Amino acid sequence: MATLQQARKIMVESPENYVAAEYQIQRAEALLVSSANSRAWSAQYGRRIFTYEAVWMFGFLLFYMLMNVLWPMISNWLVQMTGLDPTSTVVVQAVPFISTLVWGGIGGAVGALYSLWYHISDQRDFDREFLVWYYTQPLLGMVLGGIVYLLFMTGMMVLQGGSAATDSLGAPAAIADRGDWWFPAELRLRSARASSRRSAAAPRRRRQRRPRRPAPQPRQ
């Protein structure tokens, strides 16, 4: 309605500017066509997309709960199949990594549901060209969750490695194990002894007093 009112205002105030009024009318027609298409596509695809995202979300939640309950059995099977130690990094970090994937998928499904509500109920501009975006959101959420977890763990490992290296360099026991902690002090001590010997062996030069110049005689 705003575009039609603007077109009417243009025709009343400045009829010679009919091109702008025609543009506003065409814009209003395009909005009406888009709204009609949005209602039709929402009725056709809205419920289908909602069911798809809800299945993914509740499936992720069910998988997460079952994984926490059955993880002792899964970890034992993983140790037997791979031959790894139960305290190895792969076994210990498996649960946090899989949990991050699951919650990333849940976040993708929730984001798709919010976008569905926003474009169907709020803006009423739903477009079927974005169906692929809705269908791939749970999988993309899993991938992004895994990437975030790997980046976070990499940063934690770097920080832990840096702190461990600093502690090892600053510890007296580690410095003593290297066997050369005494070298700077010993070098300074030897240098001081050598300089004192040179100063003692060098002949002492007596200072010769220069004769004082006679005071200038006053001119007669």
Give domain limits for the chain.
45-155
The pLDDT score that the predictor gives to residue 220 is 47
Q: Do residues 3 and 24 touch, judged by C-beta distance below 8 A?
A: yes
- In this structure, of 46-50, 68-72, 174-178, the range with the lowest mean pLDDT score is 174-178
**Rounded Cα–Cα distance for residues 206 and 109 (Å):** 97
- Write down the pTM of the prediction: 0.65
| Percent with pLDDT over 90 in the chain | 36
pLDDT value, residue 202: 54
More confident residue, 180 or 149: 149
Structure confidence at residue 147 (pLDDT): 94
**pLDDT by residue (tens digit) across 121-162?**
988 889 999 999 999 999 999 999 999 999 998 888 888 776
Give me the pLDDT at residue 194, please: 63
DSSP-assigned letters across all residues of the chain? -HHHHHHHHHHHH-GGGHHHHHHHHHHHHHHHHHHHHHHHHIIIIIHHHHHHHHHHHHHHHHHHHHHHHHHHHHHHHHHHHH---TTSHHHHTHHHHHHHHHHHHHHHHHHHHHHHHIIIIIS----GGGHHHHHHHHHHHHHHHHHHHHHHHHHHHHHHHHHHHHHHHH-HHHHHHHS-TTHHHHHHHHHHHHHHHHHHHSPPPPPPPPPPPPPPPPP-
Mean pLDDT of the chain: 78
Q: What are the two backbone dihedrals, phi and then psi, of residue 31, each rounded to the nearest 5 degrees?
A: -65, -40
Where is mean pLDDT largest: 7-11, 20-24, 73-77, 101-105?
101-105
pLDDT of 74 higher than 60: yes
- Averaged over 46-56, what is the pLDDT? 96
Handedness of CA 84, 87, 93, 96 (dihedral sign): positive
First-last CA distance in the chain: 123
Q: Say which residues have a Cβ less than 8 Å from residue 22's Cβ, sequence separation at least 6.
A: 7
Residue 175 has pLDDT above 80, yes or no: no
**Of the listed ranges 5-19, 142-156, 181-195, the one predicted with least confidence:** 181-195
Distance CA 163, CA 205 (A): 58
Confidence of residue 89 (pLDDT cuts 50, 70, 90): confident
